[in-house]
């Protein structure tokens, strides 16, 4: 498989629909089109706990991006934000990130990419585990209420202020930061968050992108109930 990058020979994404691996699938379609391999991972069959997969990712979750370099070496990337940033920089001709270097545009881009992958993601994950993942006896309504309030009073106003002025999160040009923020906005709307018109309009814009449609074409097969692991425990996959 030729990815059109002289340093990268092949890319393989281990994927489950509508999880954090969707944001990586999105930027893969933005950067290399169809020139990558998708390996669906059946979390409900416990494949993530197989010896073969655990050798790739001891965190037993998705996404995993296997990168084969031109020199024949391989690397398994385990963090979705790192994958998004890496791919944007690996294919500069796609203009999905400001060039590396000391610039206001680059600083703002990195700030928003990581804001989405840390602050925003953490709040959504706390809501998810306490509403859907943990056994009922371990769920904490106070945690849900706390993070719902923080999200609506702290996260949404920051994003809305940007999107009221510009088409995308870092200005009027789509960047890889939108793959993180855009995915999280779709996630948040599933919890009744990000309901204002500014977010609906933003999703309307990003969902017109062919790469977005390709990345989320399998979203209907997402199962919101967490898979069980051997022994009957709940798996904490995203």
Three-class DSSP labels, 173-224: CCCCHHHHHHHHHHHHHCCCCCCCHHHHHHHHHHCCCHHHHHHCCCHHHCCC
Whether 66 and 43 share a structural domain: yes
Residues 113, 209 within the same domain:
yes
Q: What is the pLDDT of residue 238?
A: 47
CA-nearest of 88, 2, 49, 8 to 228 is 49
Q: Is residue 60 part of a domain?
A: yes
Nearest to 125 by CA among 89, 104, 150, 162: 150
pLDDT reading at 2 higher than 70: no
Q: Token match 């009957």: residue?
A: 232
Residues contacting 189, CB < 8 A, separation 6+: 195, 199, 203
Least confident of 36-50, 80-94, 200-214: 36-50
pLDDT grade for 1, boundaries at 50, 70 and 90: low
Last residue of a domain, one of 73, 97, 121: 97
Residue 117 maps to a domain: yes
161 within a domain of the structure (yes/no): yes
Same domain, 78 and 153: no
CA distance 164 to 170: 12
Tokens of 86: 């890496």
Closest C-alpha among 155, 164, 154, 120 to residue 23:
120
Instruction: Examine the domain organization and report whether 184 and 93 are in the same domain.
Output: no
Q: Are residues 112 and 49 in the same domain?
A: no
- State the greatest distance between any 2 C-alpha atoms of the chain, in Å, as a whole number: 53
What letter would DSSP give residue 70?
Answer: T
Mean per-residue pLDDT of the chain: 92
Residues 140-181: tens digit of each pLDDT? 999 999 999 999 999 999 999 999 999 999 999 999 999 999
Q: Are residues 88 and 115 in the same domain?
A: no
Residue given tokens 């270097």 in the structure block = 101
* Total tally of structural domains belonging to the chain: 2
Shared domain for 195 and 109, answered yes or no, is: yes
Which of these three, 62, 97, 132, is where a domain ends? 97
pLDDT at 182 over 50: yes
Q: Are residues 23 and 55 in the same domain?
A: yes
pTM: 0.92
Residues 51, 74 within the same domain: yes
Question: pLDDT at residue 90 above 80?
Answer: yes
Domain enclosing residue 21, as ranges: 8-97
* Same domain? 70 vs 108: no
CATH number at residue 196: 1.20.1050.10
């Amino acid at each position: 498989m030729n990815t059109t990058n002289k340093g990268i020979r092949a890319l393989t994404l281990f994927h489950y629909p509508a999880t954090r691996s969707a944001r990586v699938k999105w930027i893969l379609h933005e950067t290399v089109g169809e020139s990558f391999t998708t390996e669906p991972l059946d979390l409900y069959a416990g494949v993530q706990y197989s010896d073969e997969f655990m050798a790739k990712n001891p965190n037993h979750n998705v996404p995993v991006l296997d990168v084969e370099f031109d020199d024949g070496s391989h690397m398994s990337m385990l963090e979705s934000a790192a994958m998004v940033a890496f791919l944007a920089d690996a294919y500069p001709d796609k203009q999905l990130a400001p060039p590396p270097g000391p610039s206001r545009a680059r600083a703002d881009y990195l700030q928003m990419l990581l804001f989405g992958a840390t602050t925003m993601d953490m709040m959504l994950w706390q809501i998810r585990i306490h509403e859907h993942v943990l056994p009922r006896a371990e769920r904490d309504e106070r945690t849900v209420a706390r993070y719902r309030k923080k999200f609506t009073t702290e996260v949404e106003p920051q994003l809305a202020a940007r999107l009221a002025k510009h088409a995308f999160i870092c200005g009027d040009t789509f960047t890889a930061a939108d793959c993180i923020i855009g995915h999280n906005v779709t996630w948040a709307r599933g919890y009744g968050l990000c309901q204002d018109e500014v977010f609906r309009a933003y999703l309307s814009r990003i969902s017109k992108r062919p790469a977005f449609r390709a990345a989320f074409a399998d979203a209907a097969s997402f199962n919101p109930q967490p898979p069980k692991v051997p022994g009957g425990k709940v798996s904490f996959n995203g």
